[in-house]
Amino acid sequence: MDIKFNKNEDHNKLKLSEVRNRFAKIKLGGGKGRIEKHHAKGKMTARERIAFLLDNDAESIEIGGFAGEGMYPEHGGCPSGGVVLKIGHVQGKQCIVVANDATVKAGAWFPITGKKNLRAQEIAIENRLPIIYLVDSAGVYLPMQDEIFPDKEHFGRIFRNNAVMSSKGIPQISAVMGSCVAGGAYLPIMSDEALIVDKTGSIFLAGSYLVKAAIGESIDNETLGGATTHCEISGVTDYKSKDDKDALTTIKSIMGKIGDFEKAGFNRTKAQKPKENQGDIYGLLPASRSDQYDMLEIIKRLVDNSDFEQYKEDYGKTLLTGYARIDGWAVGIVANQRKVVKNGKGEMQFGGVIYSDSADKATRFIANCNQKKIPLVFLQDVTGFMVGSKSEHGGIIKDGAKMVNAVSNSVVPKFTVVIGNSYGAGNYAMCGKAYDPRLIVAWPSAELAVMSGNSAAKVLLQIEKASLEKKGEKITAEKEKALFERIKGRYDQQVSPYYAAARLWTDAIIDPLSTRKWISMGIEAANHAPIEKAFNLGVLQV
């Protein structure tokens, strides 16, 4: 291995170490003190509940672990969005588990909490996966109620989705393991089956204080809406559990009896590990986002037996397209080639840039994958589409539009991995979040923005300079440099993978070596949902 490989490896492993260290703090939720108070009430934490529920010998993935990171500092923060979300298996059945973290503001719903819950339901709906809610929440976080309550994608959408999922036959099971108040009380009761834990679980539209204020009735919360009330008097809940473990064991029993599902029929054979050393990824991926590298070498370390059958290998070379298997599943891969290449005319083309020929190739390949019912995997390291008079006269906008059209109308499941740059319209064409990938994850090396921090800072600097000069200020070289660094620093923070993950623009920041697991579990989930419509590109400007 050369010195550059070693430097890349050190850089990327340090980035991965930072991800792990930051996530270790996030997993503490509201902190050790609040966890101890939670345990003192005889309750398990959200993560402990999920760990007890999921099958020990099966893989699981966590969605939105970094949600809320760095957000709401004036409100004390909201680690993981105050809710833990995992895709795993219960009694051999793949499902989604959503658990409120009551150590974070008593499980109250921040705006990002609502967004994360809606993401869980979106995954359940599009993959027809059973969903389990472990409820322990004080309801809407009142200081921010205007950002979580009334809009279309706010709190109320949760219950609308409960109803929609029920109509689609998607199993929903809820366990009330703590507070479940006000509008939130509808979630468990709109599920197929509801459990409640004795003495710690409670369900009511209004607590005892509000009841006293509203109608003058004096009553304690347990009598008002505890387990005995709802299992013996109101009939609101279906099972009374003595403690958390008893409730979770009952859920396991219910899940173990769910029948089989109609499968989409995606092709799978026996999984094989890549022939090439997967760990080489750390050394192959450059420390600098502007450096060139061969994406084909990355692909060889992600796919079974390192076999990648290229489609139109010698045409449109700034995009790699081809067929492979990941953990046995057949996939079609669309990846940005990051090294300088020559096109068929002998002209040099920049790595990471989408040209007309590569956009045309990708459009055709995506159509083929839809024809053959093969899931698509997008590996992003893209700076955008080629600009300039030659590209514009050659119809780059038209060819780019064709690719965006194909991605938008694709009916097979799509999965996106942001390896490096994800800039501008390149993000769109390579199936960014707006284009409904079933899962979208980022490596620690990822950057998501309209353009790079350096380019954006140069543009913004010119605007700010012009504004200051209009006011009569003289801009010295030193002041210009300071302005540039300040602007670039602010912008660089926004392009970071943590900024994107905090806002759920991506589902997770993952170890590159976990990529195969994420894609495999994603296709396993997608296999629950047969394709119900034909692929149709609509009108294209040929």
Question: What is the structure's pLDDT at 113?
Answer: 96
Could you list the residue range(s) of the whole structural domain that residue 379 is in? 278-446+506-527
Given a cut of 90, is residue 75 above it in pLDDT? yes
Other Cβ atoms less than 10 A from the Cβ of 74: the count is 6
DSSP summary character for residue 340: -
Same domain? 218 vs 326: no
Interval 103-122: pLDDT, tens: 999 999 999 999 999 999 99
Given a cut of 90, is residue 526 above it in pLDDT? yes
Question: What is the structure's pLDDT at 309?
Answer: 98
Per the domain annotation, does 298 fall within a domain? yes
Given a cut of 80, is residue 188 above it in pLDDT? yes
Per the domain annotation, does 523 fall within a domain? yes
Provide, rounded to the nearest whole percent, the portion of the chain with pLDDT above 70: 99
Residue 482: enclosing H or E segment and its boundaries? helix 477-495
Interval 23-69: pLDDT, tens: 999 999 999 999 999 999 999 999 999 999 999 988 999 999 999 99
**Which residues, in sequence order, are CB contacts of 477 under 8 Å at separation 6+?**
none
Same domain? 89 vs 141: yes
Interval 317-365: pLDDT, tens: 999 999 999 999 999 999 999 999 999 899 999 999 999 999 999 999 9
Instruction: Say how far apart CA 422 and CA 452 lie, in whole Å.
Output: 9
What is the C-alpha R_g of the chain? 25
Q: What are phi and psi of 517, to 5 degrees?
A: -65, -45
Beta bridge partners of 490: none
Provide, rounded to the nearest whole percent, the portion of the chain with pLDDT above 90: 76
Residue 208: enclosing H or E segment and its boundaries? helix 208-215
Same domain? 192 vs 47: yes
Give 536 or 541, the one with higher predicted confidence. 536
Q: Classify burial at 252, counting beta carbons within 10 Å of its beta carbon; exposed 0-12, middle 13-18, buried 19 or more.
A: middle
Instruction: Say how far apart CA 442 and CA 447 lie, in whole Å.
Output: 9
Question: What is the structure's pLDDT at 139?
Answer: 86
Same domain? 197 vs 346: no
Q: Classify burial at 439, counting beta carbons within 10 Å of its beta carbon; exposed 0-12, middle 13-18, buried 19 or more.
A: buried
1 pLDDT band, cuts 50/70/90, is: low
Same domain? 340 vs 460: no
542 pLDDT band, cuts 50/70/90, is: low
Question: What is the structure's pLDDT at 415?
Answer: 98
Residue 336 is which amino acid?
N
Q: Residues 107, 64: contact at Cβ < 8 Å?
A: no
Given a cut of 90, is residue 15 above it in pLDDT? yes
Give 472 or 435, the one with higher predicted confidence. 435
**Smallest Cα–Cα separation from 319: which of 354, 368, 370, 364?**
354
**Which residues, in sequence order, are CB contacts of 1 under 8 Å at separation 6+?**
283
Q: Mean pLDDT across the stretch 78-90?
A: 97
Q: What are phi and psi of 522, to 5 degrees?
A: -65, -40
Give 117 or 185, the one with higher predicted confidence. 117
Q: Classify burial at 63, counting beta carbons within 10 Å of its beta carbon; exposed 0-12, middle 13-18, buried 19 or more.
A: buried
Same domain? 367 vs 487: no
In 3-state terms, what secondary structure has residue 249? helix
Q: Residues 117, 124: contact at Cβ < 8 Å?
A: no
Question: What is the structure's pLDDT at 541?
Answer: 63
Beta bridge partners of 422: 382, 448
Q: Residues 319, 380: contact at Cβ < 8 Å?
A: no
How far are the Cα atoms of 14, 278, 298, 303 from residue 282, in angstroms, in the given order?
A: 10, 9, 10, 16
Same domain? 296 vs 432: yes
Cα-based angle 379, 380, 385 (whole degrees, multiple of 5): 130
Question: What is the structure's pLDDT at 343?
Answer: 92
Instruction: Say how far apart CA 135 and CA 132 lie, in whole Å.
Output: 9
The total number of structural domains in the chain stands at: 3
What is the rounded average pLDDT for all residues in the chain? 93
Tokens of 145: 């109620």
Residue 438 is which amino acid?
R
Per the domain annotation, does 519 fall within a domain? yes
Same domain? 159 vs 183: yes
Task: Describe the chain by its helix, strand, coil percentages, rounded to 5.
Answer: 45, 20, 35
Same domain? 485 vs 510: no
Assign residue 312 a region: left if phi > 0, alpha if psi is -120 to 50, beta otherwise?
left
In 3-state terms, what secondary structure has residue 269? coil
Tell me how far apart the 2 most distant CA atoms of the chain are, in Å: 85
Q: Mean pLDDT across the stretch 486-498?
A: 86
Q: Give the domain CATH number at 383.
A: 3.90.226.10
Per the domain annotation, does 134 fall within a domain? yes
Per the domain annotation, does 536 fall within a domain? no
Same domain? 285 vs 335: yes
Instruction: Say how far apart CA 355 and CA 337 lie, in whole Å.
Output: 11
Question: What is the structure's pLDDT at 366?
Answer: 98
Per the domain annotation, does 14 fall within a domain? no
Same domain? 392 vs 461: no
DSSP summary character for residue 524: H
Q: Mean pLDDT across the stretch 85-97?
A: 98
171 pLDDT band, cuts 50/70/90, is: very high
DSSP summary character for residue 230: I
Per the domain annotation, does 247 fall within a domain? yes
Instruction: Say how far apart CA 63 and CA 96 lie, in whole Å.
Output: 10
Q: Mean pLDDT across the stretch 246-254?
A: 98
Tokens of 225: 């809406």
Same domain? 286 vs 174: no
Residue 99: enclosing H or E segment and its boundaries? strand 93-100
Other Cβ atoms less than 10 A from the Cβ of 92: the count is 10
Interval 259-312: pLDDT, tens: 999 999 999 999 999 999 999 999 999 999 889 999 999 999 999 999 999 999
Q: Residues 497, 446: contact at Cβ < 8 Å?
A: yes
Interval 363-389: pLDDT, tens: 999 999 999 999 999 999 999 999 888
Instruction: Say how far apart CA 347 and CA 341 lie, in whole Å.
Output: 8
DSSP 272-320: ---SS-GGGHHHHS-SSTTS---HHHHHHTTSGGG--EESSTTSSTTEE
Residue bearing tokens 């709401």: 72
Give 143 or 54, the one with higher predicted confidence. 54
531 pLDDT band, cuts 50/70/90, is: very high
Residue 478 is which amino acid?
E
Beta bridge partners of 378: 334, 416
Given a cut of 90, is residue 413 above it in pLDDT? yes
Question: What is the structure's pLDDT at 88?
Answer: 98
